[in-house]
Structure 1
């Protein structure tokens, strides 16, 4: 386990938030800063992020997640599937306090990490331990306006897990990499089987962050 000196070093490597952070988080930037520092210390110590990620926490993780809010309607209920270290759910909740964000995570140590951050920062998220594909979870959380995720699974499997949690007329809005168009074509059959309609790809954060984010949007139609 890293000692206090290691934690201080990791926090110093994080650096100051980039200029875009103020545009994204506004007067809630202190909360985003506290979360980023949490990732750079406890997140590394508990194995949720690798040490090499510390200098990239702001751009690659925090801001990359928060700009998802550009494609989510006001007051939506949002489930973050496989939330892990809280990405994208926690940055989204910080940037968009109007949202009702539910963080869904099956692993106990990650669930505990999420609950600790949520309590310390008083974010008002709901932290739920479970798997998206479990009938009890679908019964408990189903009917969300938006279900999101980041780096959880290939698109077909992700649709199978996510779309049952979405209300008809709502949508799955997942952060994906540059190969998302190929995934959308490859997994079209699985998406339809899960109740999804035609998917579209949006770019968010183009005017704010160095690396804009690909978002795959799939409506639930049945």
Structure 2
């Protein structure tokens, strides 16, 4: 098992509560299998807890408490989808991923941890007009303007798009303004979580989808 550093335990206990053991098991699975299965780089193992697990878990603070469904686009290793499913067991979580080897991994994780996830092998665009979710998340998938075209059509009216970003967040929001507007996105804002808890706070771009948004201009690309 990859030990949880003592300095991070208070944050982990706050975010995962009585499901911390599940988070520890998931982290161990990633540490043991992630590099050989091409899910994470070998150098990422030693900083899995802070830079990946808690980085994603802090995202839960941006999720609407009233949300019941969440889709993670480009879920890959399960970041942030699996982590959010552990932290918010009340959510119905769907993991959307295009690569077979990654969907296989996600299905194995679900079976091992008993999270009740839905794993869908698909491009996000193929689900436009078919599925919508209260919350759609993405981490390290694409620049916001491109990401919005893939994800906003999956967001239910008055739902949330939550994109985990880094230092380029403000610039991406500026460049994506026109696209967001055409797709029904409103009130884009940047929030940081975990300040004072972790070395690098979690930066989340939050976009609401307008109720009864016009579909004109949506790109299915």
Does 2:153 match 1:161? no
Partner Cα separation in structure 2 for residue 28 and residue 84 of structure 1? 22
User: 1:15·1:55 contact (CA, 8 Å) conserved in 2?
Assistant: no
Aligned residues: 207
**Cα separation, 2, equivalents of 1:84 and 1:176:** 16
- Alpha-carbon distance in 1 for matches of 2:16, 2:187: 32
Matched, 1:206 2:195: yes
Is structure 2 residue 99 aligned with structure 1 residue 138?
Answer: no
> Does the 8 Å CA contact 2:129/2:153 hold for their aligned counterparts?
no
Q: Which of 40, 50, 53 is the equivalent residue of 1:62?
A: 53
Cα RMSD of the aligned pairs, angstroms, is 1.4
Indicate yes or no: 2:27 matched with 1:36.
Answer: yes
Match of 2:23, SS?
Answer: helix
If the length of structure 2 is used for normalisation, what is the TM-score?
0.89
Aligned with 1:76 (options 59, 64, 68) = 68
Superposed displacement of residue 211, structure 1: 2.1
**Alignment partners' CA distance in 1, 2:198 and 2:31:** 20
The answer for the alignment partner of 1:53 in structure 2 is 44
Greater per-residue helix proportion = 1
- So what's the TM-score if we normalise by structure 1? 0.89
SS in 2 for 1:83: coil
CA distance in 1, matches of 2:3, 2:158: 42
C-alpha displacement at 1:73, in angstroms?
A: 2.2
Aligned to 2:219: none
Q: 1:218 maps to which residue?
A: 207
Extract unaligned runs of 5+ from structure 2.
Answer: 214-221
The Cα shift of 1:76 comes to 2.4
Shift of 1:32: 0.4
Render the CA deviation track for 1:126-181: whole Å, top value 9, x for unaligned. 111101011xx224422x11100000000001000110001111120111111100
> Which of the numbers 170, 173, 177 marks the counterpart of 1:184?
173
**Following the alignment from structure 2 to structure 1, what is the Cα–Cα distance between the partners of residues 88 and 199?**
21
